[in-house]
Amino acid sequence: MQTLGSKMQPVLYLCLLLMPCLFLVEEAHAACHGGISLRSQRMALLHWKDTLASPPVQMSSWQENTTPCNWTGIVCTAVRHGRRMPRVVTDISLPDAGIRGQLGELNFSALAFLTYIDLSNNSLHGALPASISCLSSLLELYLPYNQLTWKIPYEIGGLQSLRVLELSFNRLTGHIPASLGNLTMLNDLIIDQNMVSGPIPEEIGRLVNLQLLQLSNSTLSGLIPKIPWKSDPTKYFELIW
């Protein structure tokens, strides 16, 4: 008993040490479950509109007491939820709209059903928020021609369904996060015309579905990592470097 007890002790301490981390992980995960209610999705969108510097005319239909499914740039889709088929916000598409504000003000945990975001060519500034990883159903994310700064967050690796990531013509800095290697469904990875630097992480080599990798005019160094599918003639692949 004595020896077993002293053998168990380090394990016990380790468990105690890890406990707070486990809680944090759970909390972060829980923070992503905004639920199915169209009301909270509308609230999140209206809050974002409120934070914008002079919301553009395209957003004049974004009003209290109307369904967001009727708003310009918003698409809803019916999803199965138990025995019901409620409608949820799945698309935000407002390119070239002159939106001036921050993505960090958009409560992504309330918009977990988004599959498509196109906010190309607006004036979004500030960071690409880590909370974007809540969008586990997101298929396509278009944010080129904005003024996004700071680094691409590590949490982007949580966008497990993503097919297209387009971030070109922004002011992103820092390294390309290795967590991008988690996005194994990715077809297009377009990060050119930014200020990202450092080596290209070798995890990019895990993106077996990649068809377009566009990294030109950034201050990247080092070699393109071994890309096993690059020489596979059965696969279309283009590298713009």
Ligand X SMILES: *[C@@H]1O[C@H](CO)[C@@H](O)[C@H](O)[C@H]1NC(C)=O
The site for ligand X (CB under 6 A) is made up of 34, 40, 44, 66-67, 70, 96, 98, 107, 109-110, 121, 145, 154-155, 157-158, 179, 182, 193, 217
Within 13 Å and on the Cβ side, how many CA atoms surround 208? 1
E strand map for the chain:
74-78, 87-93, 100-102, 116-118, 123-126, 140-142, 147-148, 164-166, 188-190, 197-199, 212-214, 219-221, 238-240
Cβ of residue 180: shortest distance to ligand X, in angstroms?
Answer: 9
Look at the chain and count its residues: 241
Cβ of residue 237: shortest distance to ligand X, in angstroms?
Answer: 22
No. of helices (H) and no. of strands (E), the chain: 2, 13
> What type of residue sits at position 157?
G
Give the residue from 196, 195, 193, 200 showing the smallest Cα distance to 224. 200
Pairing of strands 87-93, 74-78: antiparallel
Nearer Cβ to ligand X, position 115 or 197?
A: 197
Q: Which residue is nearest to ligand X (CB)?
A: 157
Nearer Cβ to ligand X, position 76 or 200?
A: 76
Nearer Cβ to ligand X, position 60 or 70?
A: 70
Cβ of residue 183: shortest distance to ligand X, in angstroms?
Answer: 9
Cβ of residue 195: shortest distance to ligand X, in angstroms?
Answer: 6
Nearer Cβ to ligand X, position 13 or 241?
A: 241
Cβ of residue 122: shortest distance to ligand X, in angstroms?
Answer: 8
